[in-house]
Structure 1
Amino acid sequence: MWRIFQPLGSDRVNRFLFVLGVFLLAAFPGAAQAADLKLVVLGDSLSAGYQLAPEDAFPEQLQKALDEKGHSVEVVNAGVSGDTTSGGLSRLDWSVGADTDAVIVELGANDALRGISPEITRKNIEEITRRLRERGVEVLLAGMLAPRNLGPEYADAFDPIYADVANAHDALLYPFFLEGVALDQDLNLSDGMHPNAAGVAVIVENILPKVTELLAKTKSSKG
């Protein structure tokens, strides 16, 4: 009975390793090759997954949705809770590596909540987008709307930022990241501001066509 524990000869070792390799490739096909594209989500708590399990955060749910659609893309969570557009700009170079092909920019909610001047927000969003586009990175701006309790003047200055910047820098636009989720208590945490796992699922479903467009544009630009 102890013979099963005898050392394997070199031929038997090679055959064993070959069979093991075939098994691993079949069981884990994604490990056999790297994704064709790298997509970074540069954002704040709304995309970082505030108070959610890691697998429920926006980048992770988006990854699953894209995998199911057959896209060869790696989605990276570069969200930092509490980040403003100034914070996103300051960490842009190390958050978005040189191997990045496309970026979803989801920033600005904290600017509005803090009443930061829309001029500053516009300048930061434009600088982030400009620098990424100069690097040849395709950009999808996930827009935000100002809370209406800040008054119509603030909203009039804040709301058009994302569309204006997208038009100026040949970037794609998803007008409102929280579309279909904002103010719905069933889709948000108890704070009423951050999406729960179900809310993130709605965001992913809604934004998926625009992300698909982003990936197609990225592939086209890469030739």
Structure 2
Amino acid sequence: MAFGDSLVHGYGLPAGETFPEQLETALREEGLDVMVINAGNSGDTTAAGLARLDWALADEPTAVILELGANDGLRGLDPAATYDNLDAIMARFTEEGLPVLIAGMLAPPNLGREYGDSFNSVFPRLAEKYDAPLYPFFLDGVALEPELNQPDGIHPNARGVAEIVKRIKPYVVALVRDAAGGAQPAQVN
């Protein structure tokens, strides 16, 4: 399950081009029989993600990519609250026995160094606390690249999503294998 905001949901993208869809295709090309659940909701902050966690878990995922925090950063929300919300989400995933890949986010530079340092530390701290793998920046290689983003300069276009998938795929393959107990899974959803 990809649990996140518009970056997961696929804001502005046609069917078949969202992150979960492109990731599922890439994983199947690796020989993994998986279904990637799109549990993204455009506009979600970490607080909104926490509020809809039960709904997402009703799909009974076996592993999770956690991608939330971008809207917290864009809105300049308190990084301590972002941490607390993500901590509660991670605690619940841990309680459910779900392996989680944390997909980190970076603060917009216009919010200043102090805010940026505080916000940017949220994801590594959570990864350390929960001994979870961390993909440091979900938009790595895509942020600030006009040809990989939609006209808003924030949301990746289909080519941008493909770049994200290419870069995050080794982390997700490891997550899928972890969810299958280290074996090559026949099917993981």
Q: TM-score, normalised by structure 1?
A: 0.80
Structure index of larger Rg = 1
- CA 167–130 in structure 1, closer or farther in 2 if over 3 Å, else same: same
1:125 paired with 2:91, answer no
Cα offset for 1:97? Answer: 2.4
1:215 paired with 2:176, answer yes
Find the counterpart in structure 2 of residue 78 from structure 1. 39
Cα distance in 1 for partners of 2:15, 2:59 equals 25
1:194 paired with 2:166, answer no
Question: Given residue 105 of structure 1, which amino acid in structure 2 is its aligned partner?
Answer: L
Cα distance in 1 for partners of 2:174, 2:134 equals 10
- Number of positions where the alignment pairs a residue of Structure 1 with one of Structure 2: 184
CA RMSD of aligned residues (A): 1.4
Question: Given residue 180 of structure 2, which amino acid in structure 1 is its aligned partner?
Answer: K
Question: Given residue 147 of structure 2, which amino acid in structure 1 is its aligned partner?
Answer: D
Cα offset for 1:98? Answer: 6.1
The SS at the match of 1:100 is coil
Find the counterpart in structure 1 of residue 24 from structure 2. 63
The SS at the match of 2:16 is helix
1:7-26 equivalence runs, <5 A: none
Cα deviation code 1:96-138 (max 9, x no counterpart): 2262110111100000111100000000111101110111001
Q: TM-score, normalised by structure 2?
A: 0.94
Find the counterpart in structure 1 of residue 186 from structure 2. none
- CA 203–218 in structure 1, closer or farther in 2 if over 3 Å, else same: same
Cα deviation code 1:146-195 (max 9, x no counterpart): 00100011011000111110111121110000000000000000000000
Cα distance in 2 for partners of 1:63, 1:177 equals 17
Which has more helix, going by share of residues? 1
Structure 1 stretches lacking a partner, 5+ long: 1-39
Find the counterpart in structure 1 of residue 65 from structure 2. 104
1:171-182 equivalence runs, <5 A: 171-182=132-143
Cα distance in 2 for partners of 1:65, 1:168 equals 30
Identity %: 52
The SS at the match of 2:154 is coil
Cα deviation code 1:61-119 (max 9, x no counterpart): 00100111110211000100000000000000111226211011110000011110000
